[in-house]
Amino acid sequence: LQKELNQEELTKFGDLLSRWQAEKITFRSFVEQTSNLYGESRLYLLNEMEHFAPVEEQIWFEEFLKDLNVNTTTSSTETLLLEEQSGNSNTQI
């Protein structure tokens, strides 16, 4: 996340994460607020939360991602690797 978010955004994300872990907000609220924090261009980062979704929220989470048109088959790490490869494919040594 440090490569994707600025310091202020990281602080806000940390606050949201702490509030969720302390059960001050629900998982749904955490995800919705995090998606607002990420903005449209970084929604793919939500894929990484899949492993943290409580069992009872997994279907909701998948539907939430579909509603946002987030590609759930490619993780952000895979996306970054693909971007790097496509950028490097034009560079010859």
- Look at residue 73 in the predicted model and tell me its pLDDT: 56
1 lies in some domain: no
Domain membership flag for residue 71: yes
Domain span at residue 72?
A: 7-89
Predicted structure pTM score: 0.73
CA-CA-CA-CA dihedral for 2, 48, 37, 63, to nearest 10: 170
CA–CA distances in Å: residue 7 to residues 10, 13, 57: 5, 10, 29
Does a structural domain hold residue 33? yes
CATH of the domain at 14: 1.20.1160
The number of distinct structural domains making up the chain is 1
Q: Each residue's pLDDT tens digit in the chain (93 positions)?
A: 888 999 999 999 999 999 999 999 999 999 999 999 999 999 999 998 999 999 999 999 999 999 999 876 544 455 555 555 555 444 443
